[in-house]
Structure 1
Amino acid sequence: MTPAVELRDVSVHFGRTVALHGLDLSVAPGETLALLGPSGSGKSTALKAIAGFLRPTSGRVLLGGRDVTDTPPNRRGLGVVVQSYALFPHMKVFDNVAFGLHARRVPRREVAARVAEVLDLVGMGGFRDRYPRQLSGGQQQRVAIARALAIRPPVLLLDEPLSALDAALREEMVAELLRLRAELPDTAVVYVTHDQGEALALADRIAVMRDARLVEVGPTESLYHRPVESFTASFLGASNLLPVEVVDRETVRVGAVAVKASSDGLSDGPVALSVRPHRVGVRPYTGSGLAARLLAVQWRGTGFRLDVELELGHRLRAEVPDVEGLSVGSRVEVSIPDGCPLVRVA
């Protein structure tokens, strides 16, 4: 199957500054790929290269197998949604959504039908005669998505589309985007975000980026449960990374405690044990586990976040349902479950 989007060794330089280095990536028709990483990782630069807003310093961009590296943005046929919404304030909702259709000289009768269709799709059918200033942030974002979908693009690019919304609206819009994915099974989506929760909820695959480079890419569930790189483990799920002594392919040692570990995809080299905070057990000291000191306790509503320091010298974060019998400054015991993955330490 021909990829809907393909980046071949794409780099973007601004003078001596490398904004993107040698990115190879593809997105299948109907697939949602999240580009995930901290600020400055190159994820938005990659999206702008796909959209045509930036021309790569080197490498090629292909859409549906067609090389569009030198094609201007308005001739790529893409839908683009940015975090600032970019709605025209002097135009009503209907005219904002119709703008791209008029630019493509779509017949007026078809414009009206398409605008009605996409506004209904995003739940904004009753707002066609309002101006952007009369809408909430979430409503404006829905209109921006409707405008992008009106041209029926094979590829939809979303650049941090929810970052300007408050937490409750973000949750609502994630649910809306999931519904839209089901309604548009043939549309490929490239979703740029620094929010791991959004990426995990929406993406079929995640590409983790750092310092203008691709760190790791893979199916969402696999990347979360079995990352290969230490940065992926720490950024996607805030894993604790424990230095270990490797005993064999299935066993590592943390101090005097042996733990069964997963080592899929790893070859020789420095490794660490990736332990999610919710898998760390903390209890009053009994002498049978890893001795530690409880440094801090935070109540998080649904449970407690603990910071502990092993007597071996490593700090861990744990998430537990209760802290009965535990007090800050006390000696505690930490347990690490079997099955946590080993990750490569760069």
Structure 2
Amino acid sequence: MTPAVEFRGVSVHFGATQALAPLDLSVARGETLALLGPSGSGKSTALKALAGFLRPSAGRVLLDGQDVTDLPPHRRGLGVVVQSYALFPHQRVADNVAFGLKARKTRRADVTRRVGEVLELVGMSEYARRYPRELSGGQQQRVALARALAIRPNVLLLDEPLSALDAALREDMVAELLRLRAELPDTTLIYVTHDQSEALALADRIAVLRDSRLVELGPCEQLYRRPATEFTASFLGAANLIPVELVRADGTVATVRLAGRELSAEPSGTLQPERPVALGVRPHRISVGELGPGTFPALVRGVQWRGSGYRLDLRLTDEICDIRAEVPDGPALPAVGDRVGVSIPDGCPLVGVGG
């Protein structure tokens, strides 16, 4: 089946600066792909090249198998929602939503009907006569979504659409986007974010970018549970990377040595004998208690209350490394300077370091 979106060797340069290394990527119809990475990783540049806001320095952009590299944005038929929402302040909500339809010279009756449909879809029907300044940030975001959806795009692009909202509103809007996904099963979504929780909640697959390059691509659960690179392990879920010695590996199970003790691990990438390896251990999988058999000695260096529990900053003895653990509230909470026992579970992903 022809992909809804294809990047074929797409790169972007600003003079001597490489904003996007050659990118080869395809997205299926109805799929939601998250472009995830820190600031400056190239994710927004890729989206702008797809939307037509940037001309690739090399490579081709295809929509439904058609080369659109040289088409202007308004001829690509894409829906776009940006971080600032870009609503027209002098126009009412209904007029903002109707903008794309009027630009396509849609009949007035059809414009009115379609505006009503999409405002109903995003729960904003009663605000049609208001101006953007009379809306909250979450409501403005819904209007921006309605405007993008009004033209019935096959592909909807969202560039950090929730970053200007507070935490509670972001959670509400993630739920709203999930509902929209269910109601628009044939619409392809490409979602740019630096927030890994948004990517995990919304996407079918995640493309992880770093320093303008695609680092890793795969289904959300695969990248979270079995990341192939140290960067993905640490960025997607904030895993601790604990240096270990690789004893043996048979493809599906590996044995590693940490502080003289052997643990089983799950190889998640191509391991090379000459490269160091590390266990990717999520903070919530680390248990902290009294020092005893089967535990690794550690020094408590910091304690932070996080509402539902605590984050502990720990130094594994013998200067192995610093790690973080998430533990529930309780009477046995250690204090800074205490020496504790740390338990690391078997089956954590094993990734290559460096290279």
Q: TM-score range by the shorter chain?
A: over 0.9
Q: Provide the residue aligned with 2:94 in structure 1.
A: 94
User: What stretches of structure 1 move > 6 A for 4+ residues in a row?
Assistant: none
- Tell me how far 1:7 sits from its aligned partner: 0.3
* In structure 2, C-alpha distance between the alignment counterparts of 1:197 and 1:70, rounded to whole Å: 35
Q: Provide the residue aligned with 1:345 in structure 2.
A: 353
SS class of match (1:333):
strand
Maintained 8 Å contact 1:22/1:213: yes
Maintained 8 Å contact 2:296/2:343: yes
The amino acid of 1:279's aligned partner reads: R
Q: Does 1:266 align with 2:273?
A: no
Maintained 8 Å contact 2:34/2:190: yes
Which stretch shifts more, 296-305 or 283-292? 283-292
Q: Provide the residue aligned with 1:241 in structure 2.
A: 241
* In structure 2, C-alpha distance between the alignment counterparts of 1:325 and 1:87, rounded to whole Å: 50
Q: Provide the residue aligned with 1:180 in structure 2.
A: 180
- Tell me how far 1:287 sits from its aligned partner: 4.9
Q: Does 1:291 align with 2:297?
A: yes
* In structure 2, C-alpha distance between the alignment counterparts of 1:325 and 1:162, rounded to whole Å: 35
Maintained 8 Å contact 1:257/1:290: no
1:205-237 Cα shifts (integer Å, max 9, x gaps): 000100000000100011101000000000000
* In structure 1, C-alpha distance between the alignment counterparts of 2:187 and 2:105, rounded to whole Å: 23
1:60-86 Cα shifts (integer Å, max 9, x gaps): 100010000111000000000001010
Maintained 8 Å contact 1:11/1:22: yes
1:258-301 Cα shifts (integer Å, max 9, x gaps): 11100144232332110000011111222542111111111111
Taking the TM superposition and a 5 Å limit, the aligned residue runs for 1:208-227 are 208-227=208-227
* In structure 2, C-alpha distance between the alignment counterparts of 1:331 and 1:264, rounded to whole Å: 32
Please, which runs of 5 or more residues in structure 1 have no aligned partner? none
Maintained 8 Å contact 2:229/2:269: no
Maintained 8 Å contact 2:5/2:62: yes
* In structure 1, C-alpha distance between the alignment counterparts of 2:100 and 2:333, rounded to whole Å: 63
* In structure 1, C-alpha distance between the alignment counterparts of 2:26 and 2:294, rounded to whole Å: 49
Which stretch shifts more, 39-48 or 291-300? 291-300
Q: Provide the residue aligned with 2:327 in structure 1.
A: 320
* In structure 2, C-alpha distance between the alignment counterparts of 1:133 and 1:49, rounded to whole Å: 31
* In structure 1, C-alpha distance between the alignment counterparts of 2:187 and 2:333, rounded to whole Å: 53
* In structure 2, C-alpha distance between the alignment counterparts of 1:263 and 1:189, rounded to whole Å: 31
Q: Provide the residue aligned with 1:331 in structure 2.
A: 339
Taking the TM superposition and a 5 Å limit, the aligned residue runs for 1:113-128 are 113-128=113-128
SS class of match (1:199):
helix
* In structure 1, C-alpha distance between the alignment counterparts of 2:107 and 2:318, rounded to whole Å: 72
Which stretch shifts more, 43-52 or 269-278? 269-278
Provide the aligned C-alpha RMSD in A.
1.0
SS class of match (1:244):
strand
2:255 pairs with 251, 257, 268, which one?
Answer: 251
1:158-192 Cα shifts (integer Å, max 9, x gaps): 00000001111111100000000000000000000
Maintained 8 Å contact 1:97/1:115: yes
Please, which runs of 5 or more residues in structure 2 have no aligned partner? none
Maintained 8 Å contact 1:284/1:325: no
Maintained 8 Å contact 2:269/2:351: no
Taking the TM superposition and a 5 Å limit, the aligned residue runs for 1:72-91 are 72-91=72-91
The amino acid of 2:325's aligned partner reads: A
SS class of match (2:271):
coil
Q: Provide the residue aligned with 1:310 in structure 2.
A: 316
Q: Provide the residue aligned with 1:199 in structure 2.
A: 199
Q: Provide the residue aligned with 1:133 in structure 2.
A: 133
Maintained 8 Å contact 1:4/1:28: yes
Residue identity over aligned pairs, in percent, reads 70
Maintained 8 Å contact 1:60/1:69: yes
* In structure 2, C-alpha distance between the alignment counterparts of 1:191 and 1:312, rounded to whole Å: 43
The amino acid of 2:9's aligned partner reads: D
Which stretch shifts more, 160-169 or 281-290? 281-290
* In structure 2, C-alpha distance between the alignment counterparts of 1:96 and 1:247, rounded to whole Å: 62
